[in-house]
A and B are shown apart, each in its own frame.
Chain A
Amino acid sequence: MNQKEALTEYLLRLADSDMILGQRLCELCGKAPALEEEMALMNVALDLVGQARNWYEYASDLIDDGRDADKLAYRRDAHDYRNLLLTEQPNEDYAVTMGRQFFFDVWHYFTLKSLVNASDERVAGIAAKALKEVTYHLRRSSEWVKRLGDGTEESHRRMQDAVDILWRFTGELITPDETDQLMAQAGIGPDPEQLKEDWRGLVKEVLQEATLTPQPDDAWMYMGGKHGEHTEHLGFILAEMQFLQRAYPDATTW
């Protein structure tokens, strides 16, 4: 894999993760526990899909085979999707929604913080804009993890369950593969060891404040999203998301 291929792969991971998590949040439209949360969820989803579009645009320029950002989002099947498994997990209750968001936001925040200084100018530019948004996402999801963890007995139980359910998908966030290594070497992606340390440090700090117990660092991890091996959920997400583009392949304008 050369650097251009690695960068393309890396951009698609960022884009797909943003896209799929944004899609999950869209499913909650009209179903949030409070009107303020309706606004906040849609706001976060809007940020994520906006970021996905920026990464897709860059990826499509590198791929340069005539596919634009929409084609990348709407015409690739699950085995071509590179999102983290965490992002495709179902919304379940609000504790799972917020736990998923929190684990992702911590990863996203530290990743972007590093990408802001990327040797690739376009990456740095997109990351700089995204980091502002994700700083807000992280603050919000951290607050919710604390509220739910240290709220009532029921919310504590649910939040702990959410941590336990989602934990096995977090290994993928901080386990580097060849692409991650190449990106780090090229001065684009974050240093994998640093990212792992930062992620674990902040997650444990927030969980502790939320009176929640993390699972051990060496717990078994479910991985594969970054290579196109997904859970059974992604196929359904894409079936819904891509339906119009697939059903009306001749339509060029919407």
Chain B
Amino acid sequence: MYAQLVETGAKRVKSLDEMSPEERAFQEKIDAETKIEPKNWMPEGYRKTLIRQISQHAHSEVVGMLPEGNWVTRAPTLKRKLQLMAKIQDEAGHGLYLYSAMETLGADRDEEIEKLHQGKAKYSSIFNYPTLNWADMGAVGWLVDGAAIVNQVVLQRTSYGPYSRAMIRICKEESFHQRQGYQILLDMMREGTDEQKQMVQDAINRLWWPALMMFGPHDDESPNSQQSMAWKIKRKSNDELRQMFIDQTVPQLEYLGCTAPDPDLKWNEETGHYDFGEINWQEFYDVLKGNGPCNRERINTRKKAIEEGAWVREAAVAYAKKQKQRAAAA
């Protein structure tokens, strides 16, 4: 999930009786599965929650270019290099698409990016982990994009029309990335040297738990989720999505011939699901607060890019203005 902890501002979900007529009409529309569109009336809380969530999602796409960009100059073959470039390009495109969806809610892209750079807006915790070997490119595709897809497939039914349509479009590309990522790992496990196989297992050991954290806190620790679910921004709870992800991913892990760094992971015949160990929530909240391995580096890189690019953007604006004046004079 690329937006794992979104404030809704609501401590408790209002019942229909407590709502104003407008709110009630809105909620009834939501309950009837009618999509909300930019010009429709919506509660301020709904608007703000969506701006937070979609901007977090967009920021995640942009910051998410960095751990992969870290290896694009070192990709080991022409084929892998081309795949990685195509993927990074897609991510920039997803970022743009999501910022556009966010702007339909009256938010401003530059302002939201400024909030990110000031540490006031979040992005997915996963991108604060370093990419330390080439197999990380496979593991990020498989686990991180895999987790994102589980979440985004559900978000295709989210109640806000522009967000839902963005998810439909983005999911197609993400699924492709995920298969490519898995293929990187599979090829290394099947045809690689012992050193390469070790790289794969090492990548999984480091990224397994951070990928599970992408779904956010436990449901009972997630008060914002209830309002998001009532508004049908969220369609499934964090724990439900996490379980779905585990259930679909463990067989893929076994097929690779690798293991998860979780001694408690095992199939539960009774529930029909995999049981798994407890996430290190201290680490999760530390990373969200800015104290993960790469939080500083990621934000500094993005800040620097935008700050050092200011003169370029100013030049583009000045040139466009001159061209307009010339056209008017001609």
Name A residues whose Cβ lies closer than 8 Å to a Cβ of B.
Answer: 23, 26-27, 29-39, 42-43, 45-46, 49-50, 52-53, 56, 69-70, 73-74, 93-94, 146-148, 150-152, 154-155, 158, 240-241, 243-245, 248, 250-254
Contacts and interface: CB of A to CB of B under 8 A. Distances in A.
What DSSP secondary structure best describes chain B's contact surface? helix
Interface string B97-122: 00100000000000000000000000
A251 B195 contact: yes
A30 B187 contact: no
Interface in B276-308: 301-302, 304-306, 308
B85 A23 contact: no
6 contacts: A30-B301, A37-B309, A147-B315, A151-B315, A244-B75, A254-B184
A158 B311 contact: yes
A154 B301 CA distance: 23
A103 to B, nearest CB: 19
Contacts, number: 144
Interface of B: 62, 65-66, 68-69, 72-82, 85-86, 88-89, 92-93, 95-96, 99, 134, 184, 187-188, 190-193, 195-196, 301-302, 304-306, 308-316, 318-319, 322
Contacts of A251: 76, 192-193, 195-196
Q: Which of A32, A53, A150, A254 has the most chain B CB within a 10 Å cutoff?
A: A254
A59 to B, nearest CB: 13
What DSSP secondary structure best describes chain A's contact surface? helix
B65 A147 contact: no
Contacts of B312: 33-34, 37, 94, 148, 155
Contacts of A35: 62, 92, 95-96, 99
B78 A34 contact: no
Nearest to B320: A147
A158 B74 CA distance: 30
- Nearest 7 pairs between A and B by C-beta? A33-B309, A151-B315, A29-B69, A155-B315, A253-B191, A244-B76, A33-B312
A253 B192 contact: yes
A233 to B, nearest CB: 14
Given A32-B309, A39-B93, A49-B81, A26 B316 contact: no
Given A29-B72, A33-B309, A46-B89, A74 B77 contact: yes
Contact of A26 (B73, B134, B314): B73
Given A33-B312, A148-B315, 12 more contacts: A26-B85, A29-B88, A33-B313, A37-B309, A38-B92, A39-B89, A39-B92, A46-B85, A148-B319, A253-B191, A253-B192, A254-B184
Nearest to B74: A243
Nearest to A48: B85
B302 A42 contact: no
B74 A146 contact: no
Nearest to B85: A46
Nearest to B184: A254
